[in-house]
Structure 1
């Protein structure tokens, strides 16, 4: 019998114009759906604060020892569900919910400029878009240099690449929370499948 896998999925609290954050609503819906009987799914709401992310993420990785961590964030510009390929270390000057940004303007002083996910997002995207999910999926290399990108980079660093970031559009533009949750479920199961069947430590780093 397969050993149970642990997957941690996070959404973000409201910020700016996003008084309801589609990412956390979708993640709560996903929790109801579950990921099947051999996956332990844990969900957490992440504050839109740089310092909170720095404190929270190491404790989440430590506590759950997940096979995969998937962060979900909302993008007002997104019209598809968007898979982010990599996280960036520098360029953080957007003020968070505490009107703060890191003095160094980076996630991790001395860290690589960019860390790629160990998951082949193009492959995930292709597999899901050929299914009849009814939700369009695309791929991006720029998670936006705000809390989304900051969280993703930190998680990729902590998890040696075993992390993913998914941007979702605001609710109703065009997808409902239920549609987003179904899409997340399919995407995460594909990611687990790819991680399981790919050679270990394909974790490469490059600078843009």
Structure 2
């Protein structure tokens, strides 16, 4: 069966004890496969260079129609639909290999930025209709998430994968059970800043208040699946 969708998450990084992005894409892939949408889920290393090389290998292996890369953002309370990837690595903390690139281009021959080819506003409407707090974000940061996002769009722009859509989504981190609901590793963040696009989410529909826990299995199951056109997900 030909893979239609490729989803990627990350291993834990920094002081984080877990990374909900890997569980989110695994859960979503299970749901999508049950609905007949052939989906592969992959965990990427949180390492500059290694993550983008692994991503390129997986794209070449699966040749999907759609690629959605996912990462965690401990400073956010909503799903962030990233609009733009920038051609810069500028790490606020070391990656999992101990590297901390500063002001380095991701692709020497690449443009300053790429836009996501996901229909981010349509995705926002779909998530909001399912009462999943979300917003369109204008920055994916400059850590490994943006590195992977830019590398993805650079690969898809090369011509070999014409017609393949791709983009990046940030999700809130999972709360630490022994820390009063705070994120695992509060203080480390790969989220950049976000703005606009989320005004449709009404007060009281916050990630925590609506589901009780930002890392709940219910949200993880549907948050990525709701972004895939044609996925028949139960309400």
TM-score by length of 2: 0.72
Is this contact kept in 2: 1:27–1:72, CA < 8 A? yes
Q: Name the CA distance, whole Å, in 1 between partners of 2:218 and 2:19.
A: 14
* Structure 1 partner of 2:165: 162
Deviation at 1:102, TM superposition (A): 4.1
Matches within 5 A, 1:185-200: 185-189=225-229
Q: Unaligned stretches of 5+ in structure 2?
A: 158-163, 176-206, 209-213
* Structure 2 partner of 1:197: none
Deviation at 1:110, TM superposition (A): 2.5
Q: Name the CA distance, whole Å, in 1 between partners of 2:119 and 2:65.
A: 16
Q: Of residues 179, 203, 217 in structure 2, which corresponds to 1:177?
A: 217
Deviation at 1:135, TM superposition (A): 1.4
The 1:4–1:53 alpha-carbon spacing in structure 2 relative to 1, beyond 3 Å, is: closer
SS state at 2:60 partner: helix
**RMSD across aligned C-alpha pairs, in angstroms?**
2.2
TM-score by length of 1: 0.81
SS state at 2:49 partner: helix
* Structure 2 partner of 1:112: 111
Deviation at 1:51, TM superposition (A): 2.1
Is this contact kept in 2: 1:11–1:45, CA < 8 A? yes
Q: Name which of structure 1's ranges 140-149 and 48-57 shifts more when overlaid on structure 2.
A: 48-57
Q: Name the CA distance, whole Å, in 1 between partners of 2:118 and 2:141.
A: 19
Q: Unaligned stretches of 5+ in structure 1?
A: 193-208
Is this contact kept in 1: 2:3–2:62, CA < 8 A? no
* Structure 1 partner of 2:50: 52
SS state at 1:16 partner: coil
* Structure 2 partner of 1:123: 122
Q: Name the CA distance, whole Å, in 2 between partners of 1:117 and 1:36.
A: 27
Q: Name the CA distance, whole Å, in 1 between partners of 2:171 and 2:127.
A: 15
Count of paired positions: 187
Say which structure is richer in helix.
1
1:93-129 superposed Cα distances (whole Å, 9 cap, x missing partner) = 3421111134761210121111001223122212331
SS state at 2:139 partner: coil
* Structure 2 partner of 1:63: 61
